[in-house]
Chain A
Amino acid sequence: MIKYNHEIIFCAAETSYCGAYFKEVKMSLDPKRKAYLESLCRQFRIDVIETLHSIQTGHPGGSLSVCEILTAIFFEKARFDAKNPKWPGRDRIVLSKGHAAPMLYRILAELEFFPKEDLKTLRQAGSHLQGHPSPNHTPGIEIPTGPLGFGYSAALGMALAQRLDYPDAYTYAILGDGETNEGIVWEAAMSASKFKADNFITILDNNHVQLDGPSNVIMPMGDIHAKWSAFGYNVIHCNGHDVEDVCDAIDEAKAKKGMPSIIIAETVKGKGVSFMEGNNKWHGSAIDDESYKKAMAELKGGALDA
């Protein structure tokens, strides 16, 4: 029985120990651990909406949809050390859909990459929390992301470079479904397949909505399972709002050798706030006072699974 413990999970300085530890991780979560992660996600949503309301800028929709995906990676699956963020053998985590930075920053703060009180400075002049992720400003960020698709190729580059020196390390890339409109995503996919990047795990936050409207209207991507499969990927599906399911999908991806894996995580844009769910208006709109009150009532009232 593996005991889950913050200190152990995030202590990555002793690389060999952590490596061995993570190979032994069970296929499903301890119920207590699962409940803990779910409670974290609930708090992250509350805090992100609070921050975005207070600063009157930023992207709520995609931050809410990617919550469990990032939580599964950062709290369960990835090896890194917040106290030594540049540890060279760490797993790389690249939020290619960089506009979901508010959720990423909230999680990095929870992991003590930087103090939680910094979150309220998000997007303001003088803050280290830029509108889109920037490694030279914020600890825990690997590379600038934001221009969609570019983070994906960059993440592949990390995976291939890491393979030369740290074959046990993984690179996690988180894509948005709108982001896959970008041609560079498919160029990267061809390269990942050619170079058999089995240490490269892609998670698609398939929230079905982009800035201008429903994804299947703005740019229909068709059968994305068939597309990724045709590009040489091992394609896995999961419920992107079930932390345990995301964890299991990551384990499945790690078990696949000789080819890259993509996890198509089914999500809801704006998840957790009824009037934001599936509504492109909340891709990047400022949250007015009335909407904020309603959102808080829902999030704090425990409507997450509704």
Chain B
Amino acid sequence: MPKSIRDAYGEALRKYGVPTENVIVLDADLSGSTKSVLFAREAPDRFFNVGISENNMVAMAAGMSTCGKNVFVNTFTSFLTTIGACASKALISYGKLNVKLAGAYAGLSGAYDGPSHHSLEDIAIMRAMPNFTVFVASDEIMTDRITKYLAQEHVGPAYFRLSREAFPQIYSESDTFVPGGSKVLCEGKDAVVFSMGFMVSKALEAAKKLKAEGIEVTVVDLYSIKPLDRDTIVKYAKSTGAVVAAEEHNVIGGLTSAVSEVMLTEGAYAPLESVSMPDRHAETGKYSDLTKKFGFTAEAVEAAVKKAISRKGK
């Protein structure tokens, strides 16, 4: 069983952040949940728990970054990208500041806490802010690598979408991840599934099942939502002629929107089906129950692939 994304993140922040002297970590009374506590234990002088004041935390991080610091901000995405949105826009984005927003418990992973604690709009919000790089974690190894990159290389605003959950392992130790990159995980001529986060493993599961039925599907992990790998989107939209976008996010403003924007502006016309949340809130429940109930499943991806293929040429 792989580590949960939050554990992988917390461990990576400790491993790469502690020896990187300009890294500062902030949390708003959730360090035990976000796992920033692992950093805090080893570098207490560079850890600031600001209490339950997300607004203040994000703006403080902005100020710290102007003093040569690389500041990691931790709390539930549900609060980080909403309460923290003004400071993210007016200070971090506008000022091009070196702040890393680590969005814990994204998607439905705040499961039992209900829709107020779910986050199905964070990508839409953060994608619209100039200068931000936006990553979405789809497995433990990627979480480790991107956290390392953000702690030791990347300078500038970044948002990293995490999860409370463990996702199936997709990558190997030798895989690398860069802004603007993507991963083509399998290739098939009949359709392409562009996916992110939790839905990458679901897309792979669907591709496997479809292969048994003689349908060959390409699966792409668009882990870098911004900058987006436009060339790969265009290439596979054109070569397969049937596109599915699969995301644990509202249909508005997330991966579906990003992919369709690229397809239309680049003239890569093809039918597009979306596996996403149809502009509504979820409800309280166990994560696996919620993902099933709201259609974040391999079956939903399979159906979407078939539908997209059936629309070819129409």
Cross-chain contact A153 with B24 (CB below 8 angstroms): no
Interface residues of B in 34-60 (CB under 8 A from A): 45-46, 48, 50-51, 53, 55-60
User: B19 within 8 Å of A by Cβ?
Assistant: no
B269 to nearest A CB, angstroms? 37
Cross-chain contact A88 with B67 (CB below 8 angstroms): yes
Mask, A132-154, CB within 8 Å of B = 1, is 00111000001110110111111
Q: Please choose the segment from B91-99, B113-121, B300-308 that sits at the chain A interface, where 4 or more of its residues have CB less than 8 A away.
A: B91-99
Q: Point out the residue from A154, A187, A190 that lies within 8 Å of B62, measured CB to CB.
A: A154
Residues of chain B within 8 A (CB-CB) of A151 are 59
Mask, A177-188, CB within 8 Å of B = 1, is 000000110011
Per the bound structure, the CA–CA distance linking A155 and B91 in Å amounts to: 12
Cross-chain contact A153 with B63 (CB below 8 angstroms): yes
Cross-chain contact A191 with B50 (CB below 8 angstroms): yes
User: A165 within 8 Å of B by Cβ?
Assistant: yes
User: B128 within 8 Å of A by Cβ?
Assistant: no
Q: Point out the residue from B53, B55, B67 that lies within 8 Å of A161, measured CB to CB.
A: B67
- How many of B's residues come within 8 Å of A, CB to CB? 31
Residues of chain B within 8 A (CB-CB) of A152 are 59
A-B Cβ contacts below 8 A, count: 112
Cross-chain contact A162 with B67 (CB below 8 angstroms): yes
Cross-chain contact A153 with B45 (CB below 8 angstroms): no
B155 to nearest A CB, angstroms? 14
Residues of chain A within 8 A (CB-CB) of B57 are 153
User: A41 within 8 Å of B by Cβ?
Assistant: no
Residues of chain A within 8 A (CB-CB) of B95 are 134-136, 143-144
Mask, B290-301, CB within 8 Å of A = 1, is 000000000000
Residues of chain B within 8 A (CB-CB) of A36 are none
User: B87 within 8 Å of A by Cβ?
Assistant: yes
Say whether, besides A135-B95, A187-B55, A88 and B60 are in contact (CB < 8 Å). no
B206 to nearest A CB, angstroms? 44
Residues of chain B within 8 A (CB-CB) of A150 are 59, 62, 86-87, 90-91
B144 to nearest A CB, angstroms? 26
Say whether, besides A160-B60, A191-B56, A191-B60, A154 and B67 are in contact (CB < 8 Å). no
A174 to nearest B CB, angstroms? 14
User: B64 within 8 Å of A by Cβ?
Assistant: yes
User: A284 within 8 Å of B by Cβ?
Assistant: no
Cross-chain contact A144 with B67 (CB below 8 angstroms): no
Residues of chain A within 8 A (CB-CB) of B68 are 88, 161, 165
Residues of chain B within 8 A (CB-CB) of A143 are 62-63, 66, 91, 95, 97
Per the bound structure, the CA–CA distance linking A190 and B50 in Å amounts to: 8
Cross-chain contact A153 with B90 (CB below 8 angstroms): no
Name A90's closest neighbour in chain B (CB-CB). B67
Residues of chain A within 8 A (CB-CB) of B59 are 149-154, 157, 184, 188
Say whether, besides A143-B95, A144-B95, A191-B60, A164 and B51 are in contact (CB < 8 Å). no
Among A94, A152, A161, residue most surrounded by chain B Cβ atoms (within 10 Å): A161
Say whether, besides A144-B95, A154-B91, A135 and B66 are in contact (CB < 8 Å). yes
User: A194 within 8 Å of B by Cβ?
Assistant: yes
Say whether, besides A157-B61, A187-B53, A146 and B67 are in contact (CB < 8 Å). no
User: B69 within 8 Å of A by Cβ?
Assistant: yes
B73 to nearest A CB, angstroms? 11
Residues of chain B within 8 A (CB-CB) of A94 are 63
User: A158 within 8 Å of B by Cβ?
Assistant: yes
B29 to nearest A CB, angstroms? 12
Cross-chain contact B66 with A153 (CB below 8 angstroms): no
Name B83's closest neighbour in chain A (CB-CB). A184
Interface residues of A in 85-104 (CB under 8 A from B): 88, 92, 94
Cross-chain contact A165 with B67 (CB below 8 angstroms): yes
Per the bound structure, the CA–CA distance linking A184 and B57 in Å amounts to: 9
Residues of chain A within 8 A (CB-CB) of B86 are 147, 150
Cross-chain contact B46 with A184 (CB below 8 angstroms): no
Q: Point out the residue from B24, B48, B60, B71 that lies within 8 Å of A188, measured CB to CB.
A: B60
Per the bound structure, the CA–CA distance linking A194 and B65 in Å amounts to: 20
Say whether, besides A143-B62, A162-B67, A136 and B96 are in contact (CB < 8 Å). yes
User: A243 within 8 Å of B by Cβ?
Assistant: no
B70 to nearest A CB, angstroms? 11
Say whether, besides A147-B86, A154-B91, A142 and B56 are in contact (CB < 8 Å). no
Cross-chain contact A164 with B46 (CB below 8 angstroms): yes
Name A132's closest neighbour in chain B (CB-CB). B90
User: A175 within 8 Å of B by Cβ?
Assistant: no
B125 to nearest A CB, angstroms? 16
Among A142, A157, A191, A194, residue most surrounded by chain B Cβ atoms (within 10 Å): A157
Cross-chain contact B56 with A188 (CB below 8 angstroms): yes
Interface residues of B in 73-125 (CB under 8 A from A): 86-87, 90-91, 94-97
A250 to nearest B CB, angstroms? 20
Say whether, besides A147-B86, A154-B91, A157-B62, A187 and B96 are in contact (CB < 8 Å). no
Q: A154-B59, A164-B45 are known contacts; what are 14 more A-B pairs with Cβ within 8 Å?
A: A92-B67, A135-B95, A136-B94, A142-B63, A143-B66, A153-B59, A153-B62, A153-B87, A156-B60, A156-B63, A161-B69, A164-B46, A165-B68, A187-B53
* 12 contacting pairs across A/B (C-beta < 8 A): A136-B95, A153-B60, A153-B63, A154-B66, A157-B64, A157-B65, A157-B66, A160-B60, A161-B64, A164-B46, A187-B51, A187-B55
Partner-A contacts on B (CB < 8 A): 24, 45-46, 48, 50-51, 53, 55-69, 71, 86-87, 90-91, 94-97
Partner-B contacts on A (CB < 8 A): 88, 92, 94, 134-136, 142-144, 146-147, 149-162, 164-165, 183-184, 187-188, 190-191, 194-195
